[in-house]
Structures are given as structure tokens and as C-alpha cells.
A = this chain, B = another copy of it.
Amino acid sequence: MTKIKRIVYFVSERTGITAELFGKSLLSQFPDVEFNEYQKPFINSIEKAQQLAKELAEIQIKKGIKPLVFSTMPDKDISNVLQQAPCHYYELFAHYLKDIGNDIGTSPTHISGASHGLNNTKSYDKRMDIVNYTMTHDDAMTMKNISNADVILVGVSRSGKTPTCLYLALHYGIRAANYPLTEDDFQKDDMPQVLQQNKDKMIALTINPKRLADIREKRRSGGQYASLSNCRSEISHALELFNRYGLTVFDTTSSSIEELSARIMQEMKLK
């Protein structure tokens, strides 16, 4: 059976982040279809919309199939140009705004989507500060101000701490620090004092030793670091320490950083 193929456009007056993310979530419900995806951010004038409509028409002529278009387009005139183009047009806002307005008892502004812009300099700067904090508190680069963290992830090297911290900081403005358990800690058979004092902020990460060995093998091949027996021993010793301090442990083996972040936020009652 040959896969069904479709062309998809994510269109927006601004960044297109909402259109792409929501559109992709919808398309993930059609795993048997191969989607060829195009991003079209900053379609903020009739002229740009007409240009895009021309492109859509050319695809229909060339491929014989109308492309799907997911758009978040508060400007009705621009939206109309695309609506009339040869495509399956999904304006993702229109359907909901009226109903929400009715339910709340007020009208939507229909002003270009402000959700990913720099609308509030103060809160934006705070988020960037938090990204910076997380960068400087990655991998125990510094333990200074570690008690200012909202959450401290602890785990062996390559268990997923760093990307999860970055995701928490960038997306949710969470001050996330992390500490890698190393040979030094295992020899002392304990965690550093400063971590013990911040035990309430800690979340421990574990991972299947085979998966860990795979990941480490790609990073630094052939040595003790990536060997399965070493990975097993580190994970097992780490779990002992986590258990001793009663830490919540999340398994990252088959969790994405997005899922882990959601779990951490929930566990720590952040936000």
C-alpha cells in the first residue's frame, strides 16, 4: 500500500508557531499519511496572501491535489484571500472566537495574534534572565545561588537533565538547575551537602541502562563511560541515593523533554 501524500501549509500573520503546533497535533491523528510541510510566517498583507494563493494554485495544477492550509489569521480580508484560493482552508481561530466571546460576555479584538510577540518587556526580560540562570546552572557549572532554583534535576550523565532544564526555562519561565551524579559522588556514596539542603526542590531522573549506553556510545564511543556494565552500575547506585533521600524519580527512557517538563511542573506544583 502506497502512503497517501499531502502538502500542508502553516500560515500566520506573525510567527506561525500556533498554526504549526496545533496543525501538527491534528495531523498526528493521521499517521498513515505522509505530509510535506511548509511554513509561511508573516503573511501580513493582501499582497503576500495573493502571492501565497498563487503558489497554492500552482501546486494544485502540478499535483492535481489541493494542499491543506492551517492558518491563524485574525485579519478577515487577508483570510478571505486564502479562503478563496484552491486549498482546504482551516482558519483555526474563527471557529472558536465567537463562542468564547459569547461565553465570557465580551468580543475578541481581531488584532494580529500577540501570543508570541514581545508584548510585555518586563515579563519577557524575566524569562530571558531565567534562561540565563539555567544556562549558568547547567551541569553543576556553578552551585552558587542553587537555592534560588525552582527545581533541581539530578541524575547521571546523559539522563536528560540539560534539555529538560532548557525546555522548562524557555517555555515556562521555570528556574531549573541540574546536578550530574559522577564517580566522585559514587565514591563518597552521597550527594553534596548543598543538594541535601535543597532536597524539596529536587527531582531525580533515571533511564534504562541499555538506552543510556546507546546514547553515551554516540557521544564517546568504546570506553568505560559508555559500557553497559558501567551504565548499569551508575544507574543502580544513583537509584539507591534517590531512594535514601526520598526523591521523586522520573524515568526518561521513553519520555520526551516535553512530557517530562509537564510531569515536573505537575509534581512540583509549579504555576
Contact = CB atoms under 8 A, between A and B. Distances in A.
Given A14-B259, A109-B31, A170-B163, A24 B90 contact: no
Question: How many copies of this protein are present in the complex?
Answer: 2
Given A22-B18, A166-B131, A100 B106 contact: no
A101 interface: yes
A223 interface: no
A261 B118 CA distance: 13
A61 interface: no
Given A108-B29, A114-B28, A258 B15 contact: yes
A10 to B, nearest CB: 11
Given A29-B109, A218-B125, A271-B39, A68 B100 contact: yes
A111 B25 CA distance: 12
Interface size bracket, A side = 35 or more
Nearest to A118: B256
A236 B95 CA distance: 48
B115 A28 contact: yes
A199 interface: no
A265 to B, nearest CB: 7
Most B CB contacts (10 A, CB to CB) among A117, A118, A132, A162 go to A118
A255 interface: yes
Interface string A1-40: 0001010000000111110011011111111110001010
Contacts of A68: 100, 103-104
A178 interface: no
Contacts of A31: 109, 114
Contact of A266 (B39, B92, B109, B116): B39
A96 B111 CA distance: 23
Interface string A48-69: 0000000000000000001010
Interface in A71-116: 72, 74, 88, 90, 92-93, 95-97, 99-101, 103-106, 108-111, 113-116
A255 B14 CA distance: 11
